[in-house]
Amino acid sequence: MTTATLPLEEEVVTIPSSEASALLPTYKRAPMQLVKGEGVELIDSEGKRYLDFASGIAVNALGYGDAGIAQVISEALSTGLIHTSNLYQTAAGEQLAARLIERSFASQVFFCNSGAEANEGAFKFARRWARKTGTDAKVEIIALRGSFHGRLFASLAATDRPSYRAPFRPLAGGVSICERDLRDLDTALDGETVAAVIVEPIQGEGGVRVLDADFLRRLRAMTAEREIALIFDEIQCGLGRTGYFFAYENVGVVPDMLTIAKPLAGGLPMGAVLVSGEIGATIQPGDHGTTFGGGPLVAAVAGYVVDRLSDPSLLKAVRDNGAWLGGQLDTVARRSGKVRAIRGTGYIWGLDVVESANEIVKRGWDEGLLALTAGEHTLRILPPLVMDRDDLMRGVQILERIIG
């Protein structure tokens, strides 16, 4: 058994290597062990620093060691209430829901603990609403080609990744995938049988595909006409990543439900479903539930994160720096000749590379950069939203070296 030793001040902790890990091997973990985070950098057990172009997969929008998060956690802990259950009201949950409503189209919010859970909740709310407005046949959920909505049973059925789906068939019934094509959708969207369509305005795992605003507008018109709920999954692209608090704000298309998670509670597990008044009016006690969702500690942290991520100057910096970053990536692509396409906006970008994207990510570890893939030949970068141009440039220079 190989081991790595962490040079912590008080004690030496020995961690088994991944081959001997007691964790189920659902992930191929990188060999380094991250022990610390500072600003936009992570530090491993050997003291090596990594510039973060991944944000823990779009979670750590405020980077590492944010003093405000630490203060909110400490204040929340001082009340002694980490958890109360959803049987009782807490101020933090009510205030957070009120803030999200104030900032959006929604009338009500349901809190849960992850992105997949948020989408599962949205599917249930869609069916609840559809049964009240249509017949018992109005139950189908449609997702799009290239989508990723999670790995629980219904969310997996809405995820277009054959390798994730095949070992677990039969998946949840009544959920299917349609091409990202308005003519196909026109056929698939039967108002008698379809309750909802779920769409990522930017498909993250599916290769950073920014859906065309006109496509989304027409989909909105089609779903409204046929009384089908339109769900936007902004779990990866929402909460500031595009330079708008919600990605839909820049598209000018308002959904009936919206799901968020990842950065919401600063790295603590939290998801949410934002629901229109019409759908909210059909939900009653017992329709859905969660023991932990929206507890006082996570909700307090999320309240702080939502305030920070709604700051107009942060959002403007993400828009401006993001446009500049796109230009830098374009230059790298032209110079290297090994990048086929670049897609993205704000602080979410995908680069289609000739080589295996995974091999490039691994070379990044040697060079002190953490980046991601989105499919076999797409490199994906999701820097913390607080990263400045100097650090973005540093990352771009490393990317240029590792793309080769």
- Is 204 a residue that touches ligand PLP (CB under 6 A)? yes
Q: How far apart are CA 21 and CA 15, in angstroms?
A: 8
In this structure, what are the phi and psi dihedrals at residue 154, rounded to the nearest 5 degrees? -75, -40
* Residue of 55, 90, 104, 114 interacting with ligand PLP (CB under 6 A): 114
- Is 294 a residue that touches ligand PLP (CB under 6 A)? no
* 158 touches 205 (CB < 8 A): no
Angle at which helices 296-309 and 312-336 pack, to 10 degrees? 70
β partners of residue 345: 348
Separation of CA 231 from chain center? 15
Per-residue DSSP letter, 20: G
- Which of 250, 257, 185 is closest to 215 using CA atoms? 185
For ligand PLP, the binding residues in 130-159 under the rule CB under 6 A are: 148-150
- Is 372 a residue that touches ligand PLP (CB under 6 A)? no
Stretch that binds ligand PLP, among 5-13, 38-46, 233-241, 346-354 (CB under 6 A): 233-241
In this structure, what are the phi and psi dihedrals at residue 37, rounded to the nearest 5 degrees? -130, 140
Name which of 63 and 115 has its Cβ closer to ligand PLP: 115
* Residue of 90, 236, 345, 373 interacting with ligand PLP (CB under 6 A): 236
* Residue of 205, 256, 352, 391 interacting with ligand PLP (CB under 6 A): 205
Name which of 6 and 152 has its Cβ closer to ligand PLP: 152
* 194 touches 226 (CB < 8 A): yes
* Residue of 66, 233, 352, 391 interacting with ligand PLP (CB under 6 A): 233
Q: How far apart are CA 365 and CA 371, in angstroms?
A: 9
* Per-residue binder mask for ligand PLP (CB under 6 A), 51-90, x = binder: ------x---------------------------------
Handedness of CA 12, 6, 70, 269 (dihedral sign): negative
Q: How far apart are CA 236 and CA 258, in angstroms?
A: 12
For ligand PLP, the binding residues in 237-266 under the rule CB under 6 A are: 261
Q: Please work out the total of residues on this chain that contact ligand PLP, with binding judged by CB under 6 A.
A: 15
- Is 200 a residue that touches ligand PLP (CB under 6 A)? yes
- Is 235 a residue that touches ligand PLP (CB under 6 A)? yes
Name which of 120 and 352 has its Cβ closer to ligand PLP: 120
Q: Which residues form the interface with ligand PLP (CB under 6 A)?
A: 57, 114-116, 119, 148-150, 200, 204-205, 233, 235-236, 261
